[in-house]
Structure 1
Amino acid sequence: MNNLSGIGVALVTPFNEDLSVDFDSLTRLIEFNIENGTNYLVVLGTTAEAATLTAEEKDKIVKHVIKINQGRLPLVLGIGGNNTAEVVKQINETDTSAFEAILSVCPYYNKPNQEGIYQHYKALASTRKNIIIYNVPGRTGSNIEANTTLRLAQEFPNLIMIKEACSNINQYFDIIRKKPEHFNLVSGDDEYALAVTLAGGNGVISVIGQAYPKEFSQLIQLGREGNAKEAYKIQNKMVEITRLIFAEGNPTGIKYILSEMGIIKNFLRLPLVAASEGLVQKIKAEIANI
């Protein structure tokens, strides 16, 4: 979809010291990204620590994002899980009128085979909502193989895109090369975003981009224009901090950076904890280079 091109950011959920949702900080984060070149916002993805949020908190966050955004950027909503029937129920019962699509992660922990993954997304497609497949084997324990993605894309027009975050770059390229016209691929890995965009991908759903929306938007735009030389100047400047923010789990690193920028406070819900002093010092050194 043309509305979901360029850089989307997977928003964190800011917390207060008592670990309640910090809606003032969430407002600052949304405004910062709108003002600095982000193309669309992804709400309640894995970066949002969604697994630790109650249903009531999720509902309040969704309503707050819609209110603050005021239709300025397209929105994507994360609804996923490893109980297919429950995910279908949630999608059917959710008012998605403010959202371009649902981002739904591959079932985790169960480790289904490729036919199980196909049947899962076939069930999600039955909701008739626009669905973005999310493949992130490092979190789920299962890889959606390229042939399975292509099978789904060819059979279900409302499966509109994949957020691909496997470690095998050839898998991205195989999907881009063989996909039907209506189906897009975005990188789910910040480090691969430029290479994937240059190869014909639709950009990135980014974590680091919410702290550096200007730089990352420019990176992706240059990639879409085929200007690899200038794009790689930005890529090479940001690659180390992109790696560091994931060193102790996501969103540990990005929350530290955003707190240093004065946008949010640096609190996470267990089982995640704040970045170690060693990681903080490495991130500080890289921030000075950007």
Structure 2
Amino acid sequence: MQKKFVPVMITPFNLKAQIDLNVVEQLVDFYLDAGVKGFFANCLSSEMYSISEDERLELTKHVVRYVNGRVPVVATGSFGLTIADKAVFTQKIYDTGVDSVIMITGHFANVDESDDILLQRFEQLFSLTGDIPLGLYECPAPYKRVITPAILKTLLATNRLIYHKDTSCDVESVRAKLAVTAGSRLEFYDAHTPNAVASMQMGAVGMSAIAGNFYPEILVWLCNHVNDADKQEEVRWIQAELQKVDPLIHIAYPMSAKYFLQLRGVPVRTISRAHALELTPDQKQALQQLHRTFKGWCERLQIREVVTAPLSH
């Protein structure tokens, strides 16, 4: 089965730092043109902690409406102080029309709280949300709560989970979780680009990494060819290339992605609520070099680079 690349969407803002829904549409077109197989809206890359509850709903609703069933859309729903609050917001996000509502694992227990407490709270949320299809996301904020294969197995038995975005960055952890999810309807996505090939060759459905906000065509190519016997040399080569640049794209993210997309002609302004500072000249230079490198990757792998109209001010 062909693997899927699902981008974690960034949020474009206008000059008043409000969500620019027109550019959201152009961004959706850009991703779809690159061949993505789904969208994760209202996630950490979307600056979900820096926008209001109403904006989270408006953004998600707009993405769902504009995508119009072409590919599935998921979005984070576990916001609110209490589990009851989280259940209410989960319903609101589901009512936007998403295919699955994603739960942030770090929202269900504090750093020093046990897995038993985590499970109790998940079970409480499940009981309050009817039959809404749910997913898990080991989001780095408020802190990264990597779930164990045992927890995943217990939650999977409820038959509510259809999505998991893994950030363990550990091949053995991924292997153990994939063993637990084998044969279930849960779609397992690795968020860690350096692990992408290993994860997908072990059975992950695909990948969902921030690198897709820089060069989605490359990750789509990787998903399409990761198991092609005659492409393994290129697969290993591009995986090594992606691994090499991975630390760079995390610097000043998501501003780095917005600047890179500008270099590519995507009309996204370098305005961020999560990252207040401007990029430094050195950071910009490094991203310009990466843009040249990306063009070389496209050439070697014979990938058509998505071209877009530049931003009009």
Instruction: Provide TM-score, normalisation by structure 2.
Output: 0.83
1:236-251 to 2 correspondences below 5 Å = 236-248=240-252, 250-251=253-254
**Cα distance per residue 1:20-66 (max 9 Å; x no partner):** 11122211110011112000011101110011111222222123212
1:1-290 to 2 correspondences below 5 Å = 6-81=4-79, 83-96=82-95, 98-108=97-107, 110-111=110-111, 112-126=113-127, 127=129, 128-136=131-139, 140-153=143-156, 155-182=157-184, 183-225=186-228, 227-248=231-252, 250-263=253-266, 264-270=268-274, 272-290=276-294
Structure 1 gaps of 5+ residues are: none
Per the TM alignment, residue 169 of structure 1 is displaced from its structure 2 partner at its CA by: 2.4
Aligned-residue identity in percent: 17
Give me the whole-angstrom Cα distance separating, in 2, the residues matched to 1:75 and 1:194. Answer: 24
Give me the whole-angstrom Cα distance separating, in 1, the residues matched to 2:154 and 2:119. Answer: 8
Per the TM alignment, residue 174 of structure 1 is displaced from its structure 2 partner at its CA by: 0.7
Q: 1:235 to 1:11 in 2, by over 3 A?
A: same
Give me the whole-angstrom Cα distance separating, in 2, the residues matched to 1:166 and 1:194. Answer: 15
Give me the whole-angstrom Cα distance separating, in 2, the residues matched to 1:152 and 1:95. Answer: 20
Per the TM alignment, residue 198 of structure 1 is displaced from its structure 2 partner at its CA by: 1.1
Conservation of the 8 A alpha-carbon contact between 2:255 and 2:272? yes
Per the TM alignment, residue 97 of structure 1 is displaced from its structure 2 partner at its CA by: 6.4
Q: 1:275 to 1:198 in 2, by over 3 A?
A: farther
Aligned to 1:174, the other structure's residue is in SS state: helix
Per the TM alignment, residue 162 of structure 1 is displaced from its structure 2 partner at its CA by: 1.7
Structure 2 gaps of 5+ residues are: 295-313
**Cα distance per residue 1:216-271 (max 9 Å; x no partner):** 111012124465433222222333333211123x3232122112223211110145
Give me the whole-angstrom Cα distance separating, in 1, the residues matched to 2:151 and 2:286. Answer: 39
Aligned to 1:124, the other structure's residue is in SS state: helix
Give me the whole-angstrom Cα distance separating, in 1, the residues matched to 2:52 and 2:239. Answer: 37
Q: 1:144 to 1:61 in 2, by over 3 A?
A: same
**Amino acid corresponding to residue 89 of structure 2 in structure 1:** Q
Conservation of the 8 A alpha-carbon contact between 2:5 and 2:37? yes
**Amino acid corresponding to residue 169 of structure 2 in structure 1:** S
Aligned to 2:6, the other structure's residue is in SS state: strand
Question: What is the alpha-carbon root mean square deviation over aligned residues?
Answer: 2.4
Deviates more, 1:124-133 or 1:100-109: 100-109
Conservation of the 8 A alpha-carbon contact between 2:94 and 2:100? no
Conservation of the 8 A alpha-carbon contact between 2:5 and 2:208? yes
Per the TM alignment, residue 171 of structure 1 is displaced from its structure 2 partner at its CA by: 0.7
Aligned to 1:46, the other structure's residue is in SS state: coil
Give me the whole-angstrom Cα distance separating, in 2, the residues matched to 1:274 and 1:139. Answer: 24
Give me the whole-angstrom Cα distance separating, in 2, the residues matched to 1:117 and 1:275. Answer: 38
Q: 1:235 to 1:141 in 2, by over 3 A?
A: closer
Q: 1:125 to 1:229 in 2, by over 3 A?
A: farther
Conservation of the 8 A alpha-carbon contact between 1:188 and 1:205? yes
Conservation of the 8 A alpha-carbon contact between 1:88 and 1:123? no
**Amino acid corresponding to residue 15 of structure 1 in structure 2:** F
Conservation of the 8 A alpha-carbon contact between 2:193 and 2:246? yes
Give me the whole-angstrom Cα distance separating, in 2, the residues matched to 1:265 and 1:97. Answer: 26
Deviates more, 1:30-39 or 1:89-98: 89-98
Bigger radius of gyration among the two? 2
Q: 1:11 to 1:113 in 2, by over 3 A?
A: same
Give me the whole-angstrom Cα distance separating, in 1, the residues matched to 2:238 and 2:62. Answer: 33
The alignment covers a number of residue pairs equal to 286
Give me the whole-angstrom Cα distance separating, in 1, the residues matched to 2:28 and 2:92. Answer: 26
